[in-house]
Amino acid sequence: MRRFATYAFVIAALALAGCTAVPRESTPVETTPVEVTELDSVEVTEYEGEKLDSSDAFRENSIAGPQDVDIATYELGVTGLVDEPATYTYSEITSGFPNYEKVVQLDCVEGWRAKVLWRGVLVRDILDASGVQAGAKSVIFTAVDGYTTSFPVEYFYDNDIILAYAMNGAPLRPERGFPFQVVAEQKWGYKWCKWVAGIELSAEEDPGGYWEDRGYSNTGDLDRPYYGD
């Protein structure tokens, strides 16, 4: 009986103090917007025990210098021999397809190399979303600066080729190809198109590309000389 009386007293005291669960009209509280300062991303230096190279290990050798892409107006087009041509924003690519990570080394014909952790989406997932037509033989990538390179369609179905938007856990920097770079594993560096703005499906067997049209190998295979086929 004493315990019940004590309990009733506590409830009454809480009610007087305004601490009961009885709904009360809420009073709006004015808040001052807090300015958020975006800090620089930090690259990882190791992945699953494997040492990674910094993005600074890459040399600038593009045909027109680093490209400053406005992400607010950027679009990636998928055209050519596809059932449904498409245009994507940056976020539609990064958030609309499954994401993957993979450590891949880039080997440049200049003699340097860099091994990093790439994150992105599979090129074949983008192709499948548009539907590759039977007559398509090759995939042509076009960059913001006009650079081009190409691959056989089957290259993207025989391998897990990533269209990357991040390296070593940090977003691609402008000089590294932001917003997207092709991670063309087992290919020489000139096949790793940066600042990708277009993907075209073509009936041509070897449509070439910027360096391919200047004598470089169309295949760009690492186990073969990069100049000539």
Residue range 21-43: average pLDDT?
48
* pLDDT attached to residue 34: 54
Domain ranges in the chain are 46-214
Q: How far apart are CA 175 and CA 62, in angstroms?
A: 9
pLDDT above 70: percentage of residues in the chain = 81
What are 75-93's pLDDT values in tens digits?
999 999 999 999 999 999 9
pLDDT category of residue 42 using cuts at 50, 70 and 90? low
| Cα 191 from chain centroid (whole Å) | 17
| Cα 194 from chain centroid (whole Å) | 11
* pLDDT attached to residue 45: 76
* pLDDT attached to residue 26: 37
What number of other Cβ atoms are within 10 A of residue 192's Cβ?
A: 22
Q: How far apart are CA 85 and CA 177, in angstroms?
A: 24
What are 116-125's pLDDT values in tens digits?
999 999 999 9
Burial class of residue 184, CB neighbours in 10 A (0-12, 13-18, 19+): buried
What are 89-148's pLDDT values in tens digits?
999 999 999 999 999 999 999 999 999 999 999 999 999 999 999 999 999 999 999 999
User: Phi first, then psi: what are they for 88, rounded to 5°?
Assistant: -120, 145
Average model confidence (pLDDT) for the chain?
Answer: 85
The pTM (predicted TM-score) of the whole model is 0.80
Q: How far apart are CA 210 and CA 154, in angstroms?
A: 21
pLDDT category of residue 54 using cuts at 50, 70 and 90? confident
Residue range 41-53: average pLDDT?
77
Q: How far apart are CA 45 and CA 29, in angstroms?
A: 45
Q: How far apart are CA 113 and CA 7, in angstroms?
A: 75
Name every residue whose Cβ is closer than 8 Å to that of residue 138 and which is 6 or more positions away in sequence: 150, 151, 152, 153, 201, 202, 204, 205, 206, 207
Which helix H or strand E contains 217, and what residues bound it?
none
Q: Which residue has the higher pLDDT, 48 or 221?
A: 221
Q: How far apart are CA 105 and CA 78, in angstroms?
A: 27
* pLDDT attached to residue 15: 38
Superfamily classification of domain 46-214: Oxidoreductase, molybdopterin-binding domain (3.90.420.10)
Name every residue whose Cβ is closer than 8 Å to that of residue 40 and which is 6 or more positions away in sequence: none
What are 145-169's pLDDT values in tens digits?
999 999 999 999 999 999 999 999 9
pLDDT category of residue 33 using cuts at 50, 70 and 90? low
4 pLDDT exceeds 90? Answer: no
